[in-house]
Amino acid sequence: MKKKMINQMHLEGLLYEANLELKTSGAASKNPGTEYLTGKISVATDSECLNVVEVNYTYVTATTKNGGENKTYTTLKNIMDGLLKTVMRDGKENATLVRVDTVIGLNEFYSENRQTGAEEFVSVKRNDGGFI
C-alpha cells in the first residue's frame, strides 16, 4: 500500500466562465476587514468546450501569509474585471488559456429532504482552490 497519498488535480484549457465576488471579512473573523475574493471559475478542457470543470475559491486575499503578492488573487481579480476573457462572455476564439493546480475537497452540510422533510447529510466533491 502506498505510504503517501497525493491529492492534486492539474487542469489546462480555456477559461469558460467565472462567478467571482469581492468581499470583506467580518468583525468576528481572524483578520477583520480583510478584502478577499470568493466564487467559482470554470475551465473547458476540450476543444469543443463540452467538458467543463469547476474550481471553487473560498477565501483568496491580495497578500500571502508572508506579506508578498498573491498571484492567484491577481489572476482572479483580472478575470473578475474582464481583463482575462471567457468563452461565455467573449467567445471561444478570444478566451484565455489557463492552467489550474487544485485539490479535491468535500463540501459537507445538512439539508432538508424536500420529499420526506427529514434532515440529511450531504457530501459533495469539488475542486478546491489552488494556483491559477
CA 115 – CA 103 distance, rounded (Å): 33
Q: Is the torsion defined by CA of 27, 33, 36, 40 positive or negative?
A: positive
Give the other-Cβ count within 10 Å of 42's Cβ.
19
pLDDT in tens, 17-66: 999 999 999 988 888 999 999 999 999 999 999 999 999 999 999 998 88
pLDDT in tens, 52-107: 999 999 999 999 888 899 999 999 999 999 999 999 999 999 999 999 999 999 98
CA distances from 40 to 17, 18, 21, 51, 95 (A): 8, 6, 9, 16, 17
